[in-house]
Chains A and B, each alone.
Chain A
Amino acid sequence: MVTKIEEAELSRLESQVDNGGGGAWDFLCLVRKLKVRRSDKVLKHGLSILNDPKKRSALGPDEWTLYEQVAIAAMDCQSTEVAKDCIKILQKRFPDSKRVGRLEGLFLEAKGSLSEAETAYTSFLEESPFDQVVQKRKIAIAKAGGKIIKAIELINKYLETFMADHDAWRELAEIYVSLQMYKQAAFCYEELILSQPMNPLYHLTYADVLYTIGGLENLQMAKKYYASTIKLTGGKNQRALFGVCLCTSAIAQLSKGRNKEDKDGTDLQSLAATSLEKDYKQRAPDKLQLLTCALKSLRVSS
């Protein structure tokens, strides 16, 4: 999870490192902790530490973690030479390590020889069939090879064993969304909300999926989840505010003439609208015109 403060810290460190202000190691640690993908910068600044013997020896045992991090970043940037060198050094230091073995598999993947990587992973799994990382890599290979259906099958099989792995649930949800299988995606997001009920982003995406499916019941549900996102973020998530407005007008359109409009629905919409207007006035005054037009059109259609 990346919180607001951590995000600000990351961007501060990033600009500091980019302008040559030092703090490269702190930046790399934060990138590792927050699991963000900044491969080009990790490669550049990580290498500058590794190439400096004095800085490298100051790290102590963290040096090997840095080698791993740089190797993965180098694969992501297609700098095969660097990746190969890093893996070689790690192999010399840890000859029988499984973690290094996985790194080699990843290297094969990065080079594009997916089938070789898959055979390597299969032989890993024969030794230790419950290695979660290797199983996930097999899923990723299926995805990289464009075999989405196979990837879905593999993830489902994986989730039967490791039901609490929310990363896998998230991946499955994203795949389903990319295939426009929204009902299945909604199920995955329900699982995610169950496992992390205080994470507003899952509420938000679940609401998005429900809104996309459409229908009166789903729209009402989506509105509730947008509202819970607003509650969890303290109204600082614009997407949720827009979502509430859209849902209310869509519900009004669907239930037109059928029953008298419930009053709190419109109240919620006007509250969200005022909050949005206030936010726009503060941060982007020149776009306020667009916003008022959009909100007006929503209200006219309802």
Chain B
Amino acid sequence: MGFGFTVGVFGVLILSHAAYSTIQYRGLLKIMEEEFSGPPLTVFGELVVGLILCMWAALTVPGKFLSIHPDSEENRIVSLPENLDFMIFNHRGRVFPSQVDLKLNH
């Protein structure tokens, strides 16, 4: 968690640095009176690295992926809950009380 989070922060820092460099580069171009056709190669590389780092962090930090398939082990329903709201006491427990010795002592 800590490691992934640091990587994510690092990725965001790289991205913002790329943005800053692009702005600076455009300012430079304006002084030199040249046309802006695209960011320089270094900034482009920075963008790719930042994207990969951020993506990796976003996929690992929030936790594991959960299955959405209804037939996966986590989602497959094997039994319904007992309908406890309609529970009735007509069963063999009435005739054979199992734990007579138990007591609440306090």
| A residues in contact (CB < 8 Å) with B | 1-5, 7, 34-37, 39-40, 43-44, 47, 50-51, 53, 75-79, 81-82, 85-86, 89, 109-110, 112, 133, 136-137, 139-140, 143-144, 167-168, 170-171, 174, 198-201, 231-236
Contacts and interface: CB of A to CB of B under 8 A. Distances in A.
Interface in B54-79: 69-79
B36 interface: no
Contacts of B90: 144
Given A2-B81, A35-B81, A82-B102, A76 B89 contact: yes
Given A37-B84, A144-B89, A232 B70 contact: yes
A3 B78 contact: yes
Given A51-B105, A82-B102, A3 B75 contact: yes
B103 A36 contact: no
Contacts of A35: 81-82, 84
A183 to B, nearest CB: 22
Nearest to B80: A201
A199 B77 contact: yes
B81 A34 contact: yes
Nearest to B96: A78
B89 A37 contact: no
A2 B80 contact: yes
B35 interface: no
Interface of B is mostly: loop
Contact of B88 (A1, A4, A143): A143
B93 A140 contact: no
Given A36-B82, A133-B85, A144-B90, A77 B97 contact: yes
Contacts of A133: 85
A140 B90 CA distance: 11
Nearest to A34: B81
Contact of B103 (A2, A77, A81, A231): A81
19 contacts: A3-B76, A3-B78, A37-B84, A43-B102, A51-B104, A53-B106, A77-B98, A78-B89, A78-B93, A82-B102, A136-B85, A137-B85, A170-B80, A171-B83, A200-B70, A201-B77, A201-B79, A232-B71, A234-B72
Contact of A40 (B78, B81, B98): B98
A76 B93 contact: yes
Contacts of B72: 234
B105 A7 contact: no
B102 A79 contact: yes
B79 A7 contact: yes
A53 B105 CA distance: 10
A233 B102 contact: no
A2 B78 contact: yes
